[in-house]
Amino acid sequence: MAKIIGGVGTSHIPAIGGAIHKGLQNEPYWKPFFGGFPPIHDWLATARPDVVVMFYNDHGLNFFLDKMPTFAVGAAAQYVSADEGWGIPTQPPVQGCPDLSWQLINTLVEREFDIVSCQEMLIDHACTLPLKLLWPQSGDDWPVRIVPVCINTVQFPLPKASRVYALGKAVGEAVAAWGSDQRVLMVASGGLSHQLDGTRAGHINKGFDLQFMDSLLTNPEWATQFSIHELVEKTGTQGIELLMWLAMRGSLTAAGPSVRKVHSNYHIPISNTATAVMALEV
Ligand code: DHB
Ligand code: FE
């Protein structure tokens, strides 16, 4: 059977892509963010994942307001990154893992999550930047294949936190039941608190963010007590991307009741966003 090795949550601000492109990682503005990754690189070198299940939110590249699935699972052999208007360089295509994709799709539909399956799927910064942050040395060949799991955070109504956590659990159980010797890393892309638009643009909530990160270790369902509107109020219109972290944490329950924190880092702000990275081992 496949082995879930753990999970990583990370912010995905497009400006990170520009900083990587320009080699600014050690500049004073960027170092407090990029400095959070080396201990996670060391862990990944030992944990050696083959496949990443990427919980992420598309920002209008593959899905737009005309067609907006609540949950979508990629089932492509390859995913191409495209220019979404942030001015960051595109990344090399990422190989998919259709066998695991269909394991997820079949299991999720059986478990009454009526997802959209995507045999073609463009991936945006939310999918590519976590890969670049976790494997900065990669050239044209990524060391992992991916299965993207897209969760709508763009157009209301959004799925409830409890529903997203349950989706994550079902994804984890599907991975654990996959007849394969592959090692699988669950990644959450997004957050933490940020609001890019409106009168609250720049809203950041450090107290809530730190409590949320801590809850993933001690009481992972804590955030499911809040409605989507309460979460938006606390974390900002885009801070709702914390749903990805909840899905990732839910997926780890398939590997056991508790997790060990490998490393975490929190830094305010990069662009308009409270940045965080956290690696959990099962
Ligand atoms: C920013 C953050 C995001 O999560 C995103 O998708 C786009 C921009 C930002 O802070 O600039
Ligand atoms: Fe985002």
CATH code: domain of residue 227: 3.40.830.10
Position 104 scores a pLDDT of: 98
Q: Whose CA is nearest to atom 10 of ligand 1?
A: 272
- Complex-level ipTM beyond the 0.95 threshold: yes
Query: Does 263 participate in catalysis according to the annotation?
Result: no
Domain tally, the chain: 1
Helices and strands in the chain: count of H runs, count of E runs: 9, 11
Position 97 scores a pLDDT of: 98
Sort 198 into a burial class: Cβ within 10 Å, 0-12 / 13-18 / 19+: exposed
Q: Whose CA is nearest to atom 3 of ligand 1?
A: 13
Q: Whose CA is nearest to atom 6 of ligand 1?
A: 13
Length of the chain: 282
Position 86 scores a pLDDT of: 86
Residues 6+ apart with CB under 8 A from 204: 193, 194, 236, 268, 269, 273, 274
- pLDDT tens for the 282 residues of the chain, in order: 999 999 999 999 999 999 999 999 999 999 999 999 999 999 999 999 999 999 999 999 999 999 999 999 999 999 999 978 888 989 999 999 999 999 999 999 999 999 999 999 999 999 999 999 999 999 889 999 999 999 999 999 999 999 999 999 999 999 999 999 999 999 999 999 999 999 999 999 999 999 999 999 999 999 999 999 999 999 999 999 999 999 999 999 999 999 999 999 999 999 999 999 999 999
> Which member of 12, 21, 41, 194 is catalytic?
194
Domain that holds residue 180: 3-281
Asked if 231 contacts 223 with a C-beta cutoff of 8 angstroms, the reply is yes
Ligand 1 center to residue 274 CA distance, Å? 10
Position 30 scores a pLDDT of: 98
Helices (H), the chain: 14-22, 31-34, 38-47, 98-110, 125-134, 161-176, 206-218, 228-235, 242-252
Q: Whose CA is nearest to atom 1 of ligand 1?
A: 13
The whole-model pTM stands at: 0.98
Q: Which residues, judged by CB distance below 6 Å to any ligand atom, belong to the binding site of ligand 1?
A: 12-15, 59, 194, 196, 238, 271-273
Ligand 2 center to residue 166 CA distance, Å? 22
Query: Does 21 participate in catalysis according to the annotation?
Result: no
Sort 207 into a burial class: Cβ within 10 Å, 0-12 / 13-18 / 19+: exposed
> Which member of 125, 203, 263, 267 is catalytic?
125
- Number of CB atoms found within 10 A of residue 281's CB: 16
- The three-state secondary structure class of 54 is strand
